[in-house]
């Protein structure tokens, strides 16, 4: 099946208008149904944020007509089409059909995705955003994927175990998806793919089979005879499915001997090595969550093995002196392949693997940018900041070093004398509200980069060893997205190792320090407590910037910049008088918001007065946590 991409000319609206011309005709195959569904979902995404515009009603009318025609054409289509047959056999309603179509379109890489923070999978929140219409509410979407729904009970979709409903990941079943790839096979028994990229996406079914093999709870590795019982039906069926798909893939590659994957397979004689490569291709193409245990040494060797003795033999394939790593096909995540300790089999089990950049380039894999993700557009610019000249000079110094990095390293020869640690690492420290986060956003904007603000809760994990994987993952995401990496409240992660109570706490800091040294992008650490950071971090920081509280002149400039021109102000407002109060930029922002709230309490036509600002300033002062204020709770005087 062709992996259809949205056309750039005219966007989804243009395609939807073209689809709605003429009569609603039955679809000829699954590919045309998915393409029409992709247009509908892309159209709904274009409608987000358009509610206030005059053209929104036209969008809404077009969306309704597109949806009506899509479902009418599906009902009129032949029962022989896999999608139509599934819909009719399961008696799926309109919303359930759209959920299944959206999951298929997204999983097959068609259309645009709304990727949620820090995750690679499809979340229920994303379903709600795309499928919510006047006919279907957010609650309807949740009900349609609840544990007792038709979609779940029939096995068409699976939902993850997260406590937060909206953040649960949802996945389409392989049984529904596989016929979409294997539709209309030729008489030779090969996949009907028209490009190498399409072939790579067709390997999704093999990766899902490998994931099923790795699932120890559902598919335990049988013990060797005579100590083991006869393997379960599920295990035998899974092995047969995997073998069948691999034979089809190899037949397809024999017909396309010049394709990159075909050449790579010719260099790897062992079938287990080929399966490991395919699993890691699935990691690059986001077939599974990047943090899946399938991509560990333990997961890969279990997935490609049939019994425990074979697991032990295949684990040796991941050693540094074997072809996969020696010849540059795969590597340990984070580029730590040069560590001799990684040849220990017990260590290899817990290591996470990935394709090398060389093989990614050779296979022409377009690594997904973390659009996966936490990467977003910065919200501030340097023109909006009010900083001391020394602070601004340090920011411009960092900008110049990063912008002209090639000149510094290659033209001026520093690359040869300093082989590692060539990224730009900054430490922002100072009191809360002095502009550390705003400066990081502004610096990213000035460089034309997106920014990833690291959330401590997304990194720290209750399971030992998982935190280190999350740390490596976040640096990898920043590298792939070419984004600025911003660690707010850095002292929570980069604390002094001498204060670590448990061994895993020290290991976490070690991994952080190693990743910072290897990171070639711009990494910014912000903290209110500089002296609690680990001393080894000091030599890894290129520029240390202190953010001081603004003086009176700076506070007056901040007031003038932060108060919007359209804000209705009463007469007698004096910025000079407001600037006399010893406030940080963050506190000034709070004062402005509270002053406008006081005005709104008098009505929408009220104006913000000097009295509102005075009350807001007094409120901000009372809310300060300092030694001068009364302690909270029970305490002695």
> Closest Cα partner for 110 from 167, 46, 53, 37?
37
Higher pLDDT, 485 or 512: 485
- Main-chain phi, psi angles of 562, to 5 degrees: -85, -25
- State which fold the 552-622 domain adopts: Helicase, Ruva Protein; domain 3 (1.10.8)
Q: Over the stretch 195-247, which tens digit does the pLDDT of each residue have? A: 898 889 889 888 888 887 766 433 444 444 333 333 333 345 567 778 888 98
Higher pLDDT, 288 or 164: 288
Show me where the domains of the chain are located: 11-177, 185-362, 382-547, 552-622
pLDDT of 512: 82
Across the range 72-80, mean pLDDT stands at 88
Q: How far apart are CA 161 and CA 168, in angstroms?
A: 7
> Closest Cα partner for 16 from 78, 61, 74, 72?
61
Q: Is the peptide bond before 597 cis (omega within 30 degrees of 0)?
A: no
Element (H, E) at 545: strand 543-547
Higher pLDDT, 190 or 385: 385
CATH of segment(s) 382-547: 3.40.50.300
Alpha-carbon separation of residue 80 from 28, 62, 180, 185, 276 (angstroms): 10, 30, 13, 15, 36
Highest mean pLDDT among 402-411, 432-441, 500-509: 432-441
Question: SS3 for 542?
Answer: coil
Q: What is the mean pLDDT of the chain?
A: 78
Cβ-based neighbour number of residue 135 at 10 Å: 11
Across the range 523-541, mean pLDDT stands at 76
pLDDT of 119: 37
Kindly state the tokens that stand for 529: 């407590």
Alpha-carbon separation of residue 390 from 386, 394, 395, 632 (angstroms): 12, 6, 9, 38
Tell me if 538 sits within 8 A of 525, measured CB to CB: no
630 by Cβ neighbours in 10 Å (0-12 / 13-18 / 19+) ranks as exposed
Q: Over the stretch 106-129, which tens digit does the pLDDT of each residue have? A: 877 665 544 333 334 577 777 777
Across the range 127-135, mean pLDDT stands at 74
- Rounded percentage of the chain residues whose pLDDT exceeds 70: 77
Across the range 68-87, mean pLDDT stands at 89
Parallel, antiparallel, or unpaired for β 353-355 and 330-332? antiparallel
Tell me if 94 sits within 8 A of 71, measured CB to CB: yes
pLDDT of 468: 76
Q: Over the stretch 418-476, which tens digit does the pLDDT of each residue have? A: 655 567 888 898 888 899 999 999 999 999 898 988 867 667 665 555 677 778 778 87
Q: How far apart are CA 53 and CA 552, in angstroms?
A: 42
Long-range CB contacts (within 8 A, 24+) of 238-247: 238/209, 238/212, 238/213, 239/213, 239/306, 241/209, 242/206, 242/209, 242/210, 242/213, 245/205, 245/206, 245/209, 246/206, 246/271, 246/274, 246/275, 247/189
pLDDT of 317: 92
Q: Over the stretch 290-348, which tens digit does the pLDDT of each residue have? A: 667 888 888 999 899 888 888 889 999 998 889 999 999 998 875 555 666 667 788 88
Write down the pTM of the prediction. Answer: 0.54
Kindly state the tokens that stand for 567: 């804000």
> Closest Cα partner for 41 from 72, 19, 73, 9?
19
Q: How far apart are CA 114 and CA 106, in angstroms?
A: 10
Q: How far apart are CA 421 and CA 399, in angstroms?
A: 17
631: Cβ contacts below 8 Å, ≥ 6 apart:
none
CATH class of the domain defined by 11-177: mainly alpha
pLDDT of 109: 65
Instruction: For residue 454, list its beta bridge partners.
Output: 487
Alpha-carbon separation of residue 255 from 196, 270, 410, 543 (angstroms): 12, 20, 44, 56
Q: Over the stretch 24-55, which tens digit does the pLDDT of each residue have? A: 788 888 888 888 888 888 888 777 766 666 67
Q: How far apart are CA 170 and CA 273, in angstroms?
A: 30
pLDDT of 258: 93
pLDDT of 338: 60
Element (H, E) at 199: helix 196-202
């Amino acid at each position: 099946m062709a992996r259809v991409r949205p056309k750039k000319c005219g966007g989804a609206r243009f395609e939807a208008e073209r689809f709605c011309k003429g009569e609603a005709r039955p679809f000829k195959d699954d590919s045309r149904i998915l393409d029409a569904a992709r247009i509908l979902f892309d159209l709904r995404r274009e409608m987000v944020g358009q509610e206030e515009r005059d053209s929104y009603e036209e969008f809404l009318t077009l969306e309704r007509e597109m949806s009506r025609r899509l479902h009418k054409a599906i009902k009129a289509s032949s029962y022989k089409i896999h999608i139509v047959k599934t819909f009719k056999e399961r008696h799926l309603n309109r919303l359930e059909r759209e959920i299944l179509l959206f999951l298929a379109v997204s999983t097959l890489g068609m259309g645009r995705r709304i990727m949620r923070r820090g995750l690679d999978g499809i979340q229920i929140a994303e379903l709600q955003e795309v499928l919510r219409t006047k006919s279907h509410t957010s609650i309807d979407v949740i009900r349609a994927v609840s544990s007792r729904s038709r979609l779940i009970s029939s096995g068409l979709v699976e939902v993850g175990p997260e406590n937060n409903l909206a953040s649960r990941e949802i996945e389409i079943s392989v049984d529904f998806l596989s016929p979409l790839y294997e539709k209309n096979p030729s008489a030779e028994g090969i996949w009907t793919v028209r490009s190498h990229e399409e072939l790579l996406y067709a390997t999704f079914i093999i990766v899902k089979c490998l994931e099923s093999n790795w699932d120890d709870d559902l598919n335990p590795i049988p013990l060797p005879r005579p100590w083991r019982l006869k393997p379960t039906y599920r295990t035998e069926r899974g092995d047969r499915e995997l073998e069948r798909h691999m034979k089809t893939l190899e037949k397809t590659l024999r017909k396309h001997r010049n394709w990159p994957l075909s050449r790579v397979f010719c260099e790897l004689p062992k079938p287990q090595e080929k399966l490991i490569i395919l699993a890691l291709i699935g990691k690059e193409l986001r077939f599974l969550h990047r943090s899946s245990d399938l991509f560990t040494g333990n997961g890969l060797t279990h997935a490609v093995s049939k019994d425990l003795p074979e697991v032990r033999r295949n684990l040796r394939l991941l050693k540094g002196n074997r072809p996969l790593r020696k010849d540059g096909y795969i590597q340990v995540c984070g580029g730590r392949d040069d560590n001799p300790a990684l040849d220990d089999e017990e260590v290899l089990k817990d290591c996470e693997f990935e394709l090398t950049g060389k093989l990614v380039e050779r296979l022409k894999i377009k690594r997904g940018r973390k659009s996966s993700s936490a990467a977003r557009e910065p919200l501030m610019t340097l023109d909006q900041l009010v900083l001391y000249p020394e602070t601004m000079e340090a920011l411009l110094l960092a900008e110049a070093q990063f912008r002209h990095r090639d000149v510094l390293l290659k033209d001026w020869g520093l690359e040869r004398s300093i082989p590692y640690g060539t990224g730009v690492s900054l430490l922002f420290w100072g009191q809360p509200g002095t502009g550390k986060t705003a400066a990081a956003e502004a610096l990213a904007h000035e460089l034309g980069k997106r920014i990833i603000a690291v959330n401590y809760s997304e990194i720290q994990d209750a399971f030992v060893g998982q935190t280190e994987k999350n740390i490596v993952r976040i640096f990898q995401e920043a590298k792939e997205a070419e984004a600025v990496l911003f660690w707010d409240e850095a002292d929570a992660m980069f604390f002094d190792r001498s204060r670590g109570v448990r061994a895993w706490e020290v290991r976490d800091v070690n991994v952080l320090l190693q990743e910072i040294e290897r990171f070639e992008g711009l990494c910014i650490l912000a903290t209110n407590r500089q002296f609690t950071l680990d001393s080894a971090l000091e030599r890894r920081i290129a520029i240390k910037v202190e953010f001081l509280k603004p003086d009176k002149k700076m506070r007056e400039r901040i007031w003038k910049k932060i108060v919007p021109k359209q804000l209705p102000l009463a007469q007698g407002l004096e910025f000079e008088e407001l600037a006399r109060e010893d406030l940080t930029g963050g506190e000034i922002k709070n004062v402005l918001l509270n002053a406008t709230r006081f005005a709104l309490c008098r009505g929408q036509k009220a104006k913000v007065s000097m009295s509102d600002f005075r009350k807001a300033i007094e409120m901000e002062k009372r809310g300060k946590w300092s030694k001068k204020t009364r302690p909270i709770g029970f305490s002695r005087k």
